[in-house]
Every structure is written in structure tokens, then in C-alpha cells.
């Protein structure tokens, strides 16, 4: 009865809300394009012969991703808020849109032959990649915590399923289930944090939360809320002490998907973290991030030292890299933001590339993923091994690679914020890190090839994926200026700092 009596009021309320205008739809154009192509794949999939659908579906997915990439350009033309201030298009969200869509495109390329080799049904696979990308895109442009949560779930649920796609392998199912259970647990923390911040500030809108926290005293509840939200996001970016799932999940999931998981959702989660930590100017974040950064770097690098499985090794390495990235979060916002954004880009370039190579070397059923299997690959695949070497050098952080500048910007931002100890921990860690990446290079070049490891020819699509990553890593390593400037502009815009004011006035305001 009551519902009925309230109905007119509700109706009036609904009508009072202005419907979104056309330009607001442009502001979520990439998401729309991706969803459209995802649906097309789902419709086309049952019409095609299962054994031969890999290529056509892959092509549709690739076209979709590229179309979405182009549509970010249109989206960028018209910055502003959309959908009742839930979505914001600015340099920052465009930057991350372009990044995650590019990652998906390269991962689709890398999966192109992989699907046929592993005999995996392609339909849902490509569809899920596109839908997952929708979630990642939304994460970067959402300025409303509830929408961020929904976007987070869209991207997470897709990746949970994708992790289990090698369904004939027990390890893959284990990976999927583990990821799902722990992931849901972590997102619950995030949601709890959202609820608490709503309690503390009366809003779930980033701007309103920021202004509420900036004016007057910060309630205790806000600190707890930030801690809880960090638990949820820390899980997504695989930072210690929320990293435990990473090695098992990465080991079981299909290699191209690991390339995606370790970069795309991670980049999006870092985007959310940047908004939550810096745009809100989260209270009490400094030590939280400091400790997590130091722990991630150390645990990641030490853990990787003893791995014999290359996917596990790269999993620990991704924990370590999350740690380096978090170092940027402890720096002053105007320095740390651009450093962190640059890091996500160059980490994406080198890691997706590395996993593209790993997924080819893995062969049927990903049997060949231990270090022993990599013996002598330098002789059998000179070019592909050289590419992997380049990615590994970049992961170590040696000049002429994007990985070097990424570390460089992060540590110099930290030093300019007077974080000498964290920088020392980071720098020592990157020296330790050199050892295990080097082990892979040593195996490839300084051991004799094993006769029992098959070496099928490298398909063109894989080559293309590797080449894109190679060029990106090299470009970032030689001419990082352009991307860094984009990141700086976007970061300043996100922080509402006009370009003319010189940064440096606020020394790590979180301290």
C-alpha cells in the first residue's frame, strides 16, 4: 500500500531528473563501443562453426577495441561531467581509457593464435575481454564511489571467468576460484569503506567527500574508511600484504590473460587509487602507503628470487612493481601522480609484451613455462628471445627502456618529497630484482637448447602484439617526454591544480 501512495512522488522525482544529453553519451562513447562489440560477439558466436570461429571473433574483438580507441579521441574533445556527476571526462580519464583499451587490443592480438593452439572456445573469451575493458574504462572516469564499485565489479567478474578459461587444467580452475573468492572478499572491504565514508561525510561523490574532509575536522570514521578502501584496492593492484593470491592465480590463468590482468585492471585500480588518495586528499594515507610500498617491493623481489616457473616469477615481479608504483603515492600529489601514471603505461607495455612471448613459448596446454624450458631459446627463436630480453631489461630498469624512466620518475618524485629511506629501499630492491630477470636471460642465451621442447613458428598476430609492446617500451625509454607531459597535464587537471602555479608548497600533506 505504502508503495502505491509513494508512487506519484517517486514519479515526480524521476521526471525532475534531467535526462542525459547527447554529449553526455559521447562522454561514455568508448564504453558504449566496447559493449556494442561485446554483444555482437555474443550474437555472432553461436552462428559460427566452433572450430573455425577463433579468427573471425578475434577480428571482431580487435576491431571493437580499435574503434573504442578511436572513440576516446571523440570523448576527449568534450570534457566535463556526465550522468548526474557520476562520470567525469578529463585528461586523466582519457589517459587511462586510452591505456586500458590499448592493453586489451594488444592482448586480443596475443590471444589470436593462442586460442586455436590451446583449443579454447573463443566467443565468451573475447566478449569478456571487451566487457572487462568497459569496467576498467569506467573505473577511470567514475567520480562516484558507488559507480566505481560497480565498474570494479564489471572488470573483476570478467577477469575471474577469464582466469578459468583453460578449463581442462585443474590449475586454471583453481586460479579462477581463488581469484573469485578472495576478490569478492576484498571488494566487500572496499564497499564497506564506501559505506563508512558515506557515514563520515554524507556523500559518495569524490568532490563532495574532498570538500567535506577539507573543511573542518576529519572524523575518525574517515580514517577507517580509507583503510578499508585501501584493502580492496590493494588487493586489485596486488600490493603486499594483500598479494597472496597473485602467484597462484597467475600460474593457472591463460598467459595472455595474465598479461591483461597484471596491467589493465591494475592500471584502472591505480587510477581509482589516485582519485581516492589524491583527489580526495585521503587522511592518514601516508604510512599506509609507505608500509605497503616497502613491503610489496621487498616481498615481491625476494619471492621472485626462488621461482622456477616463469609465470610465478612474473607474478612476484608484478607485486614488486606494484610496490614501486605505490612509492609514487607517498610522494607529493603533484609529483607522484604523473610518475605513477607514467609507470602504469610503461609497465603495461613491457609486461603485456613479456606475457605475449610467454604465451607463445608455453605451447599446447602451457606445458613449457619453467625456467628449464627456456634453455637455449636464444638459439631457436633469436628474434622473439631478443624481444623478451628487452622486456626483461625494461623490468630490471636499465636505460633505453620505458621501465628505466618509470622507476626514475617514481624515485625522483620520492626524493623531491624527501622520502630518502623509501627511495633507498626501492633502489636496493631494484638491484635485487635484476637477479631473477637475469636468470631468465641467462637461461635463454647461455644454455644449450633442449631437444624435447617443440618450437612451432611464431604466428604473425603474436609478432604484431610483441612489436607493438617493443616499440612502446623503446619509445618510452628514449622519448618519454610526450607521455610524461600528457600524464602531468592530466594529473594536474585531476588534482585541480592550474599549470602555472609551481608545485612544492605542500609537503606530503598526508603526513
Among 127, 256, 259, 480, binds another protein (CB under 8 A): 480
In the structure grid, which three cell numbers stand for residue 186, read together?
576484498
Q: What does the CA dihedral 28, 142, 129, 384 come to, rounded to 10 degrees?
A: 100
Mark the segment that binds another protein (CB under 8 A) among 81-89, 154-162, 219-227, 477-485: 477-485
Phi-psi region of 508 (alpha: psi -120 to 50; beta: other; left: phi over 0): left
Residue bearing cell 603505461 = 345
Among 112, 316, 411, 463, binds another protein (CB under 8 A): 411
Cβ at position 485, least distance to another protein in Å: 7
Residue closer to another protein by CB (options 36, 408) is: 408
Question: Considering the rule CB under 8 A, would residue 35 count as an interface residue with another protein?
Answer: no
Q: Which residues, in sequence order, are bridge partners of residue 89?
A: 80
Cβ at position 445, least distance to another protein in Å: 5
Among 57, 122, 206, 484, binds another protein (CB under 8 A): 484
Cβ at position 416, least distance to another protein in Å: 5
Query: What's the CA gap between 58 and 122, in Å, rounded?
Result: 8
Residue closer to another protein by CB (options 264, 480) is: 480
Query: What's the CA gap between 124 and 72, in Å, rounded?
Result: 25
In the structure grid, which three cell numbers stand for residue 477, read together?
625509454
Cβ at position 479, least distance to another protein in Å: 7
Of 192-231, binders to another protein (CB under 8 A) are none
Mark the segment that binds another protein (CB under 8 A) among 139-147, 247-255, 408-416, 458-466: 408-416
Among 479, 496, 506, 509, binds another protein (CB under 8 A): 479
Longest dimension (CA), the chain: 81
Of 343-402, binders to another protein (CB under 8 A) are 378-379, 382, 393, 396, 398-400
Q: Are 45 and 114 in contact (CB under 8 A)?
A: no
- For residue 126, the surrounding DSSP H or E stretch is helix 123-141
Cβ at position 490, least distance to another protein in Å: 14
Of 297-316, binders to another protein (CB under 8 A) are none
Cβ at position 168, least distance to another protein in Å: 37
Cis peptide before 293 (omega within 30 of 0): no
Cβ at position 411, least distance to another protein in Å: 6
Residue closer to another protein by CB (options 199, 399) is: 399
Query: What's the CA gap between 48 and 65, in Å, rounded?
Result: 21
Residue bearing cell 607531459 = 485
In the DSSP assignment, the letter for residue 81 is E
Q: Are 459 and 466 in contact (CB under 8 A)?
A: no
Residue closer to another protein by CB (options 399, 456) is: 399
User: What string marks each residue from 426 to 465 as x (binds another protein by CB under 8 A) or -?
Assistant: -xx-xx--xx--xx-xx--xxx------------------
Residue closer to another protein by CB (options 8, 481) is: 481
Cβ at position 346, least distance to another protein in Å: 14
Among 141, 307, 423, 462, binds another protein (CB under 8 A): 423
Query: What's the CA gap between 340 and 273, in Å, rounded?
Result: 11
Query: What's the CA gap between 497 and 293, in Å, rounded?
Result: 26
Residue closer to another protein by CB (options 347, 409) is: 409
Query: What's the CA gap between 420 and 242, in Å, rounded?
Result: 25
Residue closer to another protein by CB (options 131, 404) is: 404
Mark the segment that binds another protein (CB under 8 A) among 3-11, 14-22, 42-50, 481-489: 481-489
Query: What's the CA gap between 109 and 230, in Å, rounded?
Result: 33
Residue closer to another protein by CB (options 86, 393) is: 393
For the chain, counts of helices (H) and of strands (E): 22, 2
Output phi, psi for 504, to 5 deg: 125, -5
Q: Are 509 and 502 in contact (CB under 8 A)?
A: no
Mark the segment that binds another protein (CB under 8 A) among 11-19, 100-108, 129-137, 411-419: 411-419
Q: How many CB atoms lie within 10 A of CB 431?
A: 12
Q: Which residues, in sequence order, are bridge partners of residue 370?
A: 309
Q: How far apart are the first and last CA of the chain?
A: 54
Integer-rounded Cα Rg, in Å, for the chain is: 22
Residue closer to another protein by CB (options 431, 460) is: 431
Cβ at position 429, least distance to another protein in Å: 10
How many residues at the interface with another protein, by CB under 8 A? 36
Among 121, 412, 458, 459, binds another protein (CB under 8 A): 412
Distances (CA, A) of 383 to 311, 357, 380, 386, 463: 21, 11, 9, 5, 10
Cβ at position 401, least distance to another protein in Å: 10
Question: Considering the rule CB under 8 A, would residue 36 count as an interface residue with another protein?
Answer: no
Q: Are 63 and 41 in contact (CB under 8 A)?
A: no
Residue closer to another protein by CB (options 206, 443) is: 443
What is the binding site for another protein (CB under 8 A)?
A: 378-379, 382, 393, 396, 398-400, 404, 408-409, 411-412, 415-416, 423-424, 427-428, 430-431, 434-435, 438-439, 441-442, 445-447, 479-481, 484-485, 488
Amino acid at each position: 500500500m505504502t508503495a502505491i501512495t509513494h508512487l506519484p512522488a517517486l514519479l515526480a522525482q524521476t521526471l525532475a531528473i534531467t535526462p542525459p544529453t547527447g554529449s553526455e553519451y559521447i562522454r561514455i562513447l568508448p564504453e558504449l563501443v566496447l559493449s556494442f562489440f561485446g554483444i555482437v560477439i555474443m550474437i555472432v558466436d553461436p552462428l559460427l562453426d566452433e572450430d573455425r570461429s577463433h579468427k573471425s571473433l578475434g577480428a571482431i574483438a580487435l576491431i571493437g577495441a580499435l574503434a573504442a580507441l578511436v572513440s576516446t579521441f571523440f570523448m576527449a574533445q568534450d570534457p566535463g561531467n556526465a550522468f548526474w556527476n557520476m562520470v567525469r571526462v578529463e585528461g586523466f580519464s582519457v589517459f587511462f581509457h586510452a591505456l586500458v583499451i590499448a592493453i586489451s587490443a594488444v592482448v586480443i592480438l596475443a590471444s589470436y593464435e593462442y586460442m586455436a593452439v590451446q583449443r579454447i572456445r573463443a566467443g565468451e573469451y573475447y566478449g569478456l575481454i571487451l566487457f572487462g575493458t568497459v569496467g576498467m574504462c569506467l573505473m577511470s572516469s567514475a567520480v562516484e564511489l558507488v559507480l566505481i564499485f560497480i565498474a570494479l565489479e564489471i572488470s573483476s567478474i570478467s577477469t575471474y571467468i577469464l582466469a578459468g578459461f583453460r578449463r581442462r587444467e585443474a590449475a586454471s580452475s583453481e586460479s579462477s576460484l581463488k581469484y573469485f573468492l578472495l576478490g569478492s572478499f576484498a571488494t566487500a572491504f572496499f564497499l564497506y569503506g564506501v559505506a563508512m565514508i558515506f557515514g563520515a561525510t554524507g556523500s559518495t561523490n569524490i568532490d563532495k567527500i574532498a570538500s567535506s574532509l577539507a573543511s573542518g575536522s576529519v572524523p575518525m570514521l574517515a580514517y577507517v574508511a580509507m583503510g578499508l578502501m585501501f584493502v580492496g584496492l590493494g588487493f586489485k593492484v596486488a600490493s603486499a600484504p594483500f598479494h597472496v593470491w597473485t602467484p597462484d592465480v597467475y600460474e593457472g590463468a591463460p598467459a595472455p590473460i595474465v598479461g591483461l590482468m597484471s596491467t589493465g585492471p591494475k592500471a584502472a585500480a591505480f587510477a581509482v587509487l589516485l582519485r581516492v588518495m589524491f583527489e580526495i586528499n585521503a587522511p592518514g594515507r601516508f604510512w599506509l602507503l609507505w608500509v605497503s610500498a616497502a613491503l610489496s617491493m621487498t616481498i615481491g623481489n625476494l619471492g621472485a628470487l626462488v621461482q622456477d616457473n616463469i609465470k610465478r616469477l612474473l607474478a612476484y615481479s608484478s607485486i614488486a612493481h606494484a610496490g614501486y608504483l605505490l612509492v609514487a603515492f607517498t610522494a607529493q600529489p603533484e609529483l607522484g601522480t604523473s610518475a605513477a601514471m607514467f609507470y602504469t603505461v610503461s609497465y603495461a607495455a613491457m609486461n603485456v609484451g613479456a606475457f605475449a612471448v610467454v604465451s607463445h613459448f608455453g605451447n599446447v596446454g602451457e606445458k613449457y613455462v619453467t625456467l628449464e624450458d627456456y634453455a637455449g631459446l636464444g638459439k631457436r627463436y633469436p628474434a622473439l628471445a631478443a624481444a623478451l630480453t628487452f622486456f626483461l631489461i625494461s623490468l630490471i630498469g636499465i636505460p633505453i627502456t620505458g621501465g628505466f624512466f618509470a622507476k626514475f620518475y617514481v624515485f625522483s618524485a620520492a626524493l623531491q618529497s624527501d622520502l630518502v629511506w623509501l627511495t633507498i629501499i626501492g633502489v636496493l630492491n631494484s638491484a635485487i630484482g635484476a637477479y631473477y630477470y637475469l636468470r631468465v636471460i641467462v637461461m635463454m642465451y647461455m644454455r644449450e637448447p633442449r631437444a624435447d621442447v617443440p618450437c612451432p613458428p611464431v604466428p604473425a598476430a603474436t609478432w604484431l602484439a610483441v612489436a607493438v609492446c617493443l616499440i612502446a617500451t623503446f619509445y618510452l625509454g628514449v622519448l618519454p617526454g610526450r607521455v610524461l607531459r600528457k600524464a602531468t597535464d592530466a594529473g594536474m587537471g585531476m588534482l585541480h591544480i592550474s599549470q602555472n602555479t609551481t608545485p612544492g608548497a605542500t609537503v606530503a600533506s598526508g603526513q
